[in-house]
Structure 1
Amino acid sequence: MKKQFTMKKYHFLTFALSLLFIVFFACEDEEKVVLPDVATASVEEIYSTSAKVGGKVLYNGGGDISERGIYWSISENSETTGTKIQIGSGLGVFYETLDNLTPGVKYYVKAYAKNTAGIAYGNETFFTTQINYPIIITAEVTDIKVDSAVVGGDVLDNGGTAIVEKGVYWGTTENTINTGAKISMGSGDGPFSDTLSGLSRGVTYYVRAFATNGKGTSYGNELSFITTVELPLVSTIIPRNVETHSAVAGGNISSDGGSAITERGIYWGTSVESENTGTKMALGNGIGSFLDTINNLTPGTIYYVKAFATNSFGTNYGEEISFTTLGEIPSATTVKQSNLEAYSSTLNGLVNAHNLSTTVSFEYGTSTAYGQTANASENPVTGNGDSTVSANISNLLANTLYHFRVVAINELGTNYGDDLSFTTVITGLTGSVVDADANNYQTIGIGYQCWMTQNLKTTKYNDGTNITLVNNDSIWNTLTSGGYCFYDTNATYKNTYGALYNWYAVNTNKLCPTGWHVPTESDYDTLISYLGGATEVGKKLKEAGTTHWKTPNTDATDEFDFTALPGGKRDPDGLFDFMTIEGDWWLSNEYSTKFSNYFYMMYNYNNSFKAYTNKTYGLSVRCIKD
């Protein structure tokens, strides 16, 4: 048992020694990681506000480079005093551009690289940002006068450091920085200017801008200018009293320029640059205002005028001013005719003569070829504004279409108004018509309508069939077909007032003579419109006087010979009323199943009224031609 234990112990020790041997030699084979080797690169592309910096990782120290970059600062030991910029990882070259640097400043930069052993640094190097010469231009010389001018320049770039002085060199010879005088105009960037005074008249001067910073002085380009001579100061007066053929023009001399004015006046013409293209009008000498009238101008024409003045140094001009003489081709507008009758009318228009004497006429005829002419009563038309013109024409044909237009002529040309047309009316034309009972009725034209001048009194329809005469009150009330009666069932009223018909007789469309009909609402409205509205109709259509109408028969004139009479009416119960008080006439339009439309006039109104009433009423009828 003891020997067995010893053998086991021997084998265990042997195993342990072998394991240690393997571990020892394995550790000897694994490479140890050390700090990397990094170099700071030379600074490149150094400008006033930027530079390119970087480095190179030469050796990774046996481990991966996890970070690399640079430190930079305006102090040494930039890794502790400055700003860190990481520029990737791994071996090799790396660069970065530093921006927004200050010109003329010394900067320090140091590369670094990092692995698991730590951070290694390259050598610290330094660089200084550049300072450039300023960039400057010489400004254009302005406000050049006989003894002064404004000169200057513009510092476009200070070169990276402050401008300590800027200004100009100037003189009467070239190369002013060597031959001229220096004027300092402050410091700093941007434009600058000042006035050179005490210059001589008509002399050539040279000027060159300069700017100085910490690096040195730069110059702009050299410019030259010539001081002016003193010409007269002259202005053109706005033309006045401009007419169709003349205008007053001139100028004013406020300064003779130190030398006597030997001549003054105007140039004028129909083209710009009238001093070269127009007519010269000399108007004396000396300073002050001068005016004269230009005659024989053309109406409606644009003219240009420019004043001038001459002294020993030369001639100066005022501004060129244009004006337009009055007058143009007349305007012509044809206006609706008036006073339209069957055989005559008044033609109307508006004409603007535009300040030229204008002859006006009207062309008219039954087609747009016209063929006839009538002179306007207002001839000739003058002035500048719309003038109403008219011409009365006669010997026309009734109920005929006519065309017309206004024509206006002046020395600049002719203008025509638009074509308008009208149809002559039949107002006042008389005639007659016979009904189925052989009753004869006088007729009258009103506008484009032909009306009977008497109330209808037929007892037959136009096909010869009888209309039912109903005198009995109870039967009248129950009628649903055509019926008639005379007022108060008295046939002696027939010839004066005609018969009274219920609406059912109207609705047969056979009540009036053939070619005639009971008026529609539209017929009535047309009549109202032609007569000037409902407030005018009663007085113009009612018989005048009080022979048939009750006093006062307000304003009745029977102007159109319609002779409306107050025939009264019969109500649905058969009762008669309102004779001498009102006249009531059916219209053919049905208002509803129970009512229909009619119109009426009264003794104490000059109106005509439209209303509706029960179809069983008995009312008068006035027929109108189809």
Structure 2
Amino acid sequence: MKKILSVVFIFFITNSCKTKEIVPIPPTLAVVSTSELTINSARLSSEISDIGNQYISDYGVVYSETNATPTLADSKISHGAVAASNIVPVKFSDVIQGLKPSTNYYARSYSIIASGVVFGQITTFKTTDIIQPSVKTDAVILVFETSAKLRGIIESKGTYDVSEYGICWSATNAIPTTADFKSSKTNLSVFPTIYTEDANNLTPNTSYYFRAFLVSNGITSYGNVLTFKTLAISQPSIKTLEAKTITVNSVQIRGSVETKGTYDITEYGICWSQRFTTPTTDHSKAKILGNLSTFPTVFTVDINELAQGGIIYYRAYIISNGVTSYSDVLNYTLEVDGFPTLTTDGSINLDNASQRLQATIKTKGNYNISEYGICWSFAVPYPTITDAKISISENSMVFPTTFTVDAKGLQAHVVYFYRAYLISNGAITYGSVKSFIL
């Protein structure tokens, strides 16, 4: 009996001194959730809902574009050991950068314990697509001969900033690009934005294709294609009006500038000839310089030194943008009846500084002659009463009457031009031009 009790005691002592074995409990990891997705980043959040009964030396998130079961060998975000003071759940959240746009990724949480790595459930997420701004070709606002004002609309911004926007156009390319002609602006911060661009240096009377464009992140986007046609260049219009006799060798002619045309007017007037039936500015002309702002504008010119009683062919002309336009040709016969007439006769040399000049007043006309005489000049071939002259103020004469004047103080070896003149009823009548040399 005593022997049995000893065996029982030894068994009890042996079993009471043996260490109790602890069963390991791994941590519990939540599924990774994703938020704040962009084209190249995402926020990954998870937690350790139960730490378990082992020391956690590291925890965090692993992710991969290609590995459907990412491990520590893939990309990861580490948070280090879980401190003994941490209270469950242990939450963690991180923004990962450098991702690819419009790409699927795999992710899961992890923790490292003495017995190995514990992973959470795998989740997937996708980064957002790159969105280009939206651009629209809107309208043709104004069209001229060599320019047009064109409008586009940028409706939305897209992913990246707009670095350039404008209008491109071409007369030959039905789908114009920025490699053709363009007008643009830089930087834009307000959406939607309506804008206009001027297309310049265009060809008149020509069809063009155009469309809006913008550049964002180095990529050019285009709107729809529209068309316009530049205006044809129009010349100003003119009209030839009536003529009336001033003297037997001068007329007054009227013309009218009816419309302006495309470009400014640089010159207008009357051209004429007593020889050619279709006069041009290469023949004779009375010109008026400068632009006009009111239309129609009637103008008047006086034409002198005509053959007495002869026919004059005349028409209005106008010059714009270097182009001369003409109106219809009219003709007019200078009146003789009622007007005084005179001729320039010969001359006689008196000495080396004097010349006797002669003229004849053939008819008086309807009005008294208040002044007559002879004028001369060596500088101009058609001397007038503003040049050198000798005048006679006397109206009691019979017709025809011949008179002479002595031109003195002349230079030797110089050609002089001279002609007779008279003033009647305020109008000056000249005789033909003759010349002499001492």
Pairwise same-fold verdict (TM > 0.5): no
| Structure possessing the higher relative contact order (Cα contacts under 8 Å, 6 or more residues apart) | 2
Higher helix share: 1
TM-score by length of 1: 0.29
Higher strand share: 2
TM-score by length of 2: 0.40
Query: In terms of Rg, which structure is larger?
Result: 1
